[in-house]
Chains A and B, each alone.
Chain A
Amino acid sequence: MSARDRILARLNAAPVMNKPEPDVAAWFAEHRSEETPAEKAARFRHFIELAHAEVYSVSRGGWLQKLWEVLSAKQIGKLLVAPGTSHGQRAQSELSALGIDCPSYAEPIENWKETMFHDIPASFTAARGAIAETGTLILWPDADEPRLMSLVPPVHIVLLDAANIYNTLYETMQQEGWKNGLPTNSLLISGPSKTADIQQTLAYGAHGPKELVVLMIEENV
């Protein structure tokens, strides 16, 4: 018998204590009320700002201008982008003209890990959506916008469409049908990296981004 079989045999030999499945939906229906898109956007902003993120309200046409201003204000001359996406494509073509170096995440990380860790001051990705209740961004990294883009560069700039903000994590999972399949890696991000491990003193930029900037498209919201 393997360890697996022995463990399962012991569990199966234990008294059966079947409990009914609790009604999670009912709890959320009772304790969380629906909000308008504008209210959700405001709540999202409130909480993620509390967690030390910077949020800028932008328009669908105007976000690039804001991105440029943010980079200039932070004196960042290099931005990692994902040209396989429309926003990455736009950032790359327009920012390059303004003198910002916009390398692409074009190759598997093994080929350029050193550069990624030492030589990329900032990155730009989109968020799939967000959660108002906790001020949380939802990211599903993929071949175009790989996982490390939102983790290694010290500054992470995220484009979010406020039309995709949900009330709660529960509502997000329901409406997007997460149970039918998740990507290899999916992430909730609620601020820049932080720690309070030294004398309960809060410090930002522990291992992930030190700064998180959200460009929130608030048209029609």
Chain B
Amino acid sequence: MNAPQTPHALHFMPSAGFRARSKEVVDNPFLRQSFRGAMDFLMSKRAAQFPDPVELETLRTLGEQIRQYNLGKLPELLVQLESNLTRNGIQVHWAETPEEANQIILGLCQKHSAKLMVKGKSMVSEEIELNHAAEAAGIDALESDMGEYIVQLAHEKPSHIIMPAIHKTKEQIAKLFHENVPGVEYTDNVDALIQIGRNVLREKFLEADVGLSGVNFAVAETGTLCLVENEGNGRMCTTAPAVHIAITGIEKIVEKLDHIPPLYSLLTRSATGQNISTYFNMISGPRKAGEKDGPQEVHLVLLDNGRTQAYADEQLRKTLQCIRCGACMNHCPVYTRIGGHAYGTTYPGPIGKIISPHMLGLEATATMATASSLCGACGEVCPVKIPIPELLMRLREESFSAPHENPTMRGQGAGYNATVSAIWRGWAWVYRSPALYRLATWLGSRFNWLMPSKQGPWTSVRVPLKPAPKRLRDMLKERA
């Protein structure tokens, strides 16, 4: 696939071209300003939700323990979830790949002769590029979360997992609505814009044959799917159409309802700085006899897409603790400067860097883990204490070490370069021996005029590096 010309394109792309896209955003003062402003806003809102550092720390520890406990029992919990959902009348499907997941979902749509599918916010549906597959199958897939609706109208992809249209100004959205929604005059009044979206989408909820949603937590003991949202579009998608299809990664499961309150509280407080979301929607079955609304059929698609690879390694398994709050993105100095589209992957920012390699292979994502200063902010704010910086180090090693037999990760060694490795080995060798080190620095200071004036990416924005004519050691000797 060619690197796109603008920071956006209809498809997610592998992280090839990551550098070029990052540069484009860094050169755009408007985008930088809007991301900076948005991230500052989200950071301060989160901070206000956690006034008590002891409560925060103990709650994060509890969140971490809950996620690790449940991951420890994952295979058994999946079987329990399946049997309880089935008992409740919810049909369960399993998919190893995005293609399989799309086939299952579109197959269900075709079975019901569905023409229109309304979608609640679901990053997993973005991960499998469902909209694109639906389009190819002649089914209209319409995003109904306001942010998702906006990016879909603009033929873009979400640039943030919680706030999909965070890169857009209200003026841009005003223009988009004016040009794309029939009969709409230009207005950049936010309330008016939301009412326009509301009116368009209401008609779609009324018409739609199928509603699709993600899942925030699936509860094994009761066979319940939990959805967190503010707008009510998720409730519309899961209530108004005759068929509801939910899709989730296999990791989003908890054994007990008891595990929900701490995780739910961590999620909303970390994500948008709300003490709770407007809606928490618990779905434990399709419409029962005698009930007057709700879907006649409810389906759940459980997706692997690389998650079992992460699961197989004790350290990498921690990636699956994630509850997708987006706090790591909001606090990341790299994300704040380059925004979500530059990454090219469904999940941007720190969480994107640690999860995408399992989904796309290191062949496509080798450089992602290098886009970090390892400042540690992501790991500090993560509500379930994923050691993100540690995982980034691990992924760098997986990417850049020499390819070997039986690798833990698909694409291990994809970034390996024999020359670079040899240079680093030489460097290590010189630094281990005082005599060699002295000789090397002496040669460096004598022959500093030999340094080339072009030093790769370094000199594209900086003056060339040149060893000083006199070493520190020589200057100290002169003083003594």
| Contact surface of A with B, Cβ cutoff 8 Å | 2-4, 6-8, 10-22, 24-25, 27-28, 30-31, 47, 51, 105, 107-109, 113-114, 117, 133-136, 142-143, 146-148, 151, 168-170, 173-174, 178-179, 181-201, 203, 205-209
Q: A7-B96, A27-B62 are in contact. Are A146 and B230 (CB under 8 A)?
A: no
Q: Least Cβ distance of A79 to chain B in Å?
A: 17
Which one of A21, A133, A194 lies within 8 Å of B231 (CB-CB)? A194
Which one of B73, B79, B194, B206 lies within 8 Å of A195 (CB-CB)? B194
Verify A185–B294 contact, CB threshold 8 A: yes
Most buried by B among A15, A182, A209: A182
Tell me the bound Cα distance from A30 to B54 in angstroms: 11
0/1 interface trace, chain B 244-285, chain A, CB 8 Å (1 if under):
000000100000111111101100000010011111111111
Closest to B71 in A: A17
Verify B58–A197 contact, CB threshold 8 A: no
0/1 interface trace, chain B 150-169, chain A, CB 8 Å (1 if under):
10000000000001111011
Q: Which residues of A contact B278 (CB under 8 A)?
A: 51, 189-194, 208
Verify B206–A113 contact, CB threshold 8 A: yes
Q: A197-B164, A200-B38 are in contact. Are A10 and B311 (CB under 8 A)?
A: yes
0/1 interface trace, chain B 139-156, chain A, CB 8 Å (1 if under):
000001111001000000
Pick the 3 closest A-B CB pairs, nearest first: A208-B232, A197-B147, A22-B65
Which one of B147, B163, B264, B314 lies within 8 Å of A169 (CB-CB)? B264
Verify A178–B222 contact, CB threshold 8 A: yes
Closest to B166 in A: A200
Verify B201–A182 contact, CB threshold 8 A: no
Q: Which residues of B contact A184 (CB under 8 A)?
A: 88, 283-288, 291, 294
A selection of 26 A-B contacts at a CB cut-off of 8 Å is: A3-B95, A12-B75, A19-B65, A19-B72, A22-B65, A24-B66, A25-B258, A117-B202, A136-B276, A146-B292, A146-B293, A147-B239, A169-B260, A173-B260, A173-B261, A182-B224, A184-B285, A187-B281, A197-B163, A198-B146, A198-B168, A198-B194, A199-B170, A201-B170, A206-B230, A208-B236
Closest to B223 in A: A182
B372 CB within 8 Å of chain A? no
Tell me the bound Cα distance from A146 to B235 in angstroms: 13
Q: Least Cβ distance of A196 to chain B in Å?
A: 7
Tell me the bound Cα distance from A88 to B79 in angstroms: 42
Which one of B100, B150, B222, B231 lies within 8 Å of A179 (CB-CB)? B222
Verify B291–A151 contact, CB threshold 8 A: no
0/1 interface trace, chain B 286-307, chain A, CB 8 Å (1 if under):
1110111110000000101000
Q: Which residues of A contact B478 (CB under 8 A)?
A: none
Verify B62–A151 contact, CB threshold 8 A: no
Which one of B66, B164, B236, B282 lies within 8 Å of A182 (CB-CB)? B282
Tell me the bound Cα distance from A198 to B73 in angstroms: 40
Which one of A24, A30, A134, A206 lies within 8 Å of B198 (CB-CB)? A206
Closest to A171 in B: B261
| Contact surface of B with A, Cβ cutoff 8 Å | 34, 38, 41-42, 55, 58-59, 62, 65-66, 68-69, 71-75, 78-79, 88, 94-96, 100, 144-147, 150, 163-166, 168-170, 173, 190-191, 193-195, 197-198, 201-203, 205-206, 221-222, 224, 230-233, 235-236, 239-240, 250, 256-262, 264-265, 272, 275-288, 290-294, 302, 304, 308, 311-314, 317
Q: A17-B314, A186-B282 are in contact. Are A205 and B170 (CB under 8 A)?
A: no
Verify B165–A19 contact, CB threshold 8 A: no
Q: Least Cβ distance of B67 to chain A in Å?
A: 9
Which one of B191, B264, B277 lies within 8 Å of A203 (CB-CB)? B191
Q: A7-B304, A169-B264 are in contact. Are A207 and B317 (CB under 8 A)?
A: no
Which one of B69, B173, B201, B280 lies within 8 Å of A207 (CB-CB)? B201
Verify B280–A188 contact, CB threshold 8 A: yes
Closest to B90 in A: A184
Verify A207–B236 contact, CB threshold 8 A: yes
Verify A206–B232 contact, CB threshold 8 A: yes
Which one of B62, B72, B239, B272 lies within 8 Å of A24 (CB-CB)? B62
Tell me the bound Cα distance from A197 to B176 in angstroms: 15
Closest to B207 in A: A113
Most buried by A among B191, B240, B293: B293
Tell me the bound Cα distance from A16 to B58 in angstroms: 26
Most buried by A among B193, B195, B283, B291: B291
Verify A31–B58 contact, CB threshold 8 A: yes
Verify A108–B292 contact, CB threshold 8 A: yes
Verify B94–A194 contact, CB threshold 8 A: no
Verify B69–A21 contact, CB threshold 8 A: yes
Q: Which residues of B contact A208 (CB under 8 A)?
A: 231-232, 235-236, 278-279
Q: A14-B312, A206-B194, A206-B231 are in contact. Are A3 and B279 (CB under 8 A)?
A: no
